[in-house]
């Protein structure tokens, strides 16, 4: 297979062709997240609270899978752009082996810490029990998820976006169809409650992995997993982690943030914790499609950087920034106009709906400007500059928002936490643009 189209095809149609399958995939994944939560919410509000409390650890495990996958994606694209196919195969092989190892370690660690973790945020034994049940089943599939996402990033690195779209959509659809069957029971299948939601998630991940394995085994691939490439290579592994670890931290930092904010909000009412969990479900409709564009950009930027096509790198960044901003603007309008109905999808509690309505209308003020941070961070990862990308994420999820949330919470009550979101996005955008310009240097000036 020839992937030189990445440096020869006109930039705009190239980016659209690479991004569109990802955007569709992310929208379906967003739908899955929403539908999954809707079914869980029908059990009772305690189940929804349990899901919200498990989210930070579940998100961290996903961050390890996706973040390290970004390291694999970046190196494969960079090496193929430079014409070093043997090194690209070695990066893919080491990346896959390490991903499986990460899955085993995450299963053991996450399962062990969950009872104590949940007990820190609630004294309700039912919520803790539900959370432990859900998380134990979900984390048993961590290795499956790690391998699936490693394959996803491998195929994306060589431009096979339609395949990754099909695999992700298949897994999500399977999950959505299984949710009501396993949660509420159907025919001979007993009602499993929140355990059914977790099992549906795991089976959906397994379906995606099976698709990747079948396609890899039955079709010609431009990158290969080779047994002989498994010999120790500290230089290669170091590069994988140099990109992957910052990317993991970029994705894991929201877990740290949610845990911190849950601690602040739980002091007022569990309804605020529920609203924060609902917000993170709803925001996937915006950030995942925008992330789909960034995913389409990432291998293109890496390939063209490896091929020394610097003018195309700059143009790819600019187009991605503009497209992401349009998506976020649409999200702002939706949240302003339909905040109450959106929250009402997940709760019938009038107090929770009122709190959520206020939260959405305040937080969405920072959506459009956040496109600068997300695009800059993704571009830097594609260029192999993981540390610079991490600086941006630290600003968004730790350096600015945590002190602001703590301070504003004491001045304005729980509403202060919502204001911390948009103020943080404005400050982080300024830093992100400066970090990107400094990191890429002359690339910014080429057209």
Q: Are 360 and 279 contacting, i.e. CB atoms less than 8 angstroms apart?
A: yes
- Angle (CA) 13-15-16 rounded to 5° is 60
- Output the CA torsion sign for 174, 175, 176, 178: positive
Q: Are 318 and 301 contacting, i.e. CB atoms less than 8 angstroms apart?
A: no
Q: Are 241 and 69 contacting, i.e. CB atoms less than 8 angstroms apart?
A: no
Could you tell me the residue ranges of all domains in the chain?
A: 20-231, 246-440
pLDDT tens-digit series, residues 100-156: 999 999 999 999 999 998 888 888 888 899 999 999 999 999 999 999 999 998 998
Strand partners, 186: 189
d(CA 98, CA 143): 11
pLDDT tens digit at each of 447 positions of the chain: 455 677 778 888 888 888 888 778 777 766 776 777 788 888 887 888 888 888 888 888 888 898 898 889 888 888 888 888 888 899 999 999 999 999 999 999 999 999 998 888 888 888 899 999 999 999 999 999 999 999 998 998 888 888 988 998 899 889 889 989 999 988 888 989 899 999 999 999 999 999 999 999 998 888 888 888 888 888 898 989 988 888 888 777 877 888 899 889 988 888 898 899 888 878 877 777 788 888 888 888 888 887 888 888 889 999 999 999 999 999 999 999 999 998 888 878 888 899 999 999 999 999 999 999 999 998 998 888 888 888 998 999 999 999 999 999 999 999 999 999 999 999 999 999 999 988 876 544 333
How long a stretch of residues is the chain? Answer: 447
Structure tokens at 249: 């931290």
Structure tokens at 440: 């890429």
Element (H, E) at 63: helix 45-81
Nearest Cα neighbor of 280 from 438, 57, 110, 59 is: 59
d(CA 173, CA 382): 30
Say what percent of the chain tops pLDDT 90. Answer: 41
Q: Is 341 exposed, middle or buried (0-12, 13-18, 19+ CB in 10 A)?
A: exposed
- 124: helix, coil or strand? coil
- Angle (CA) 265-268-271 rounded to 5° is 70
Instruction: Output DSSP code: residue 191.
Output: P
């Amino acid at each position: 297979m020839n992937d030189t189209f990445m440096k020869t095809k006109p930039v705009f149609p190239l980016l659209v062709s690479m991004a569109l399958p990802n955007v569709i995939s992310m929208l379906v994944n967003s739908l899955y997240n929403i539908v999954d939560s809707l079914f869980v919410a029908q059990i009772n509000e305690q189940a929804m609270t349990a899901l919200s409390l498990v989210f930070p650890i579940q998100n961290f495990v996903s961050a390890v899978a996706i973040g390290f996958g970004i390291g694999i994606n970046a190196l494969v694209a960079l090496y193929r752009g430079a014409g070093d196919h043997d090194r690209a195969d070695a990066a893919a092989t080491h990346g896959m082996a390490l991903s499986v190892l990460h899955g085993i370690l995450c299963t053991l660690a996450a399962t062990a810490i969950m009872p104590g973790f949940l007990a820190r945020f609630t004294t309700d034994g039912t919520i803790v029990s539900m959370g432990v049940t859900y998380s134990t089943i979900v984390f048993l599939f961590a290795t499956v998820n790690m391998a699936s996402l490693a394959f996803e990033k491998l195929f994306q690195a060589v431009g096979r976006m339609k395949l990754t779209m099909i695999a992700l959509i298949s897994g999500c659809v399977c999950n959505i169809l299984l949710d009501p069957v396993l949660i509420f029971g159907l025919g001979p299948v007993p009602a499993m409650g929140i355990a059914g939601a977790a099992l549906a998630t795991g089976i959906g991940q397994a379906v995606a992995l099976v698709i990747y394995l079948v396609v890899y085994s039955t079709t010609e691939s431009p990158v290969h997993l080779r047994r002989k490439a498994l010999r120790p290579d500290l230089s290669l592994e170091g590069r994988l982690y140099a990109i992957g670890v910052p990317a993991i931290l970029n994705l894991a930092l929201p877990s740290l943030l949610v845990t911190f904010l849950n601690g602040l909000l739980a002091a007022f009412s569990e309804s605020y914790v529920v609203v924060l969990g609902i917000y993170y479900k709803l925001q996937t409709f915006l950030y995942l499609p925008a992330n789909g564009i960034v995913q389409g950009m990432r291998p293109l930027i890496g390939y063209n950087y490896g091929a020394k096509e610097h003018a195309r790198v700059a143009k790819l960044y600019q187009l991605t920034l503009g497209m992401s901003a349009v998506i976020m603007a649409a999200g702002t309008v939706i949240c302003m106009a339909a905040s109450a109905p959106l929250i009402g999808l997940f709760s019938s509690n009038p107090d929770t709906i009122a709190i959520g309505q206020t939260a959405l209308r305040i937080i969405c003020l920072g959506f459009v400007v956040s496109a600068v941070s997300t695009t800059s961070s993704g571009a830097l990862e594609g260029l192999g500059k993981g540390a610079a990308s991490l600086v941006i994420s630290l600003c968004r999820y730790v350096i600015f928002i945590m002190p602001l949330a703590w301070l504003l919470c004491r001045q304005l009550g729980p509403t202060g936490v919502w204001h911390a979101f948009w103020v943080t996005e404005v400050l982080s955008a300024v830093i992100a643009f400066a970090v990107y310009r400094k990191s890429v240097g002359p690339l910014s000036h080429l057209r």
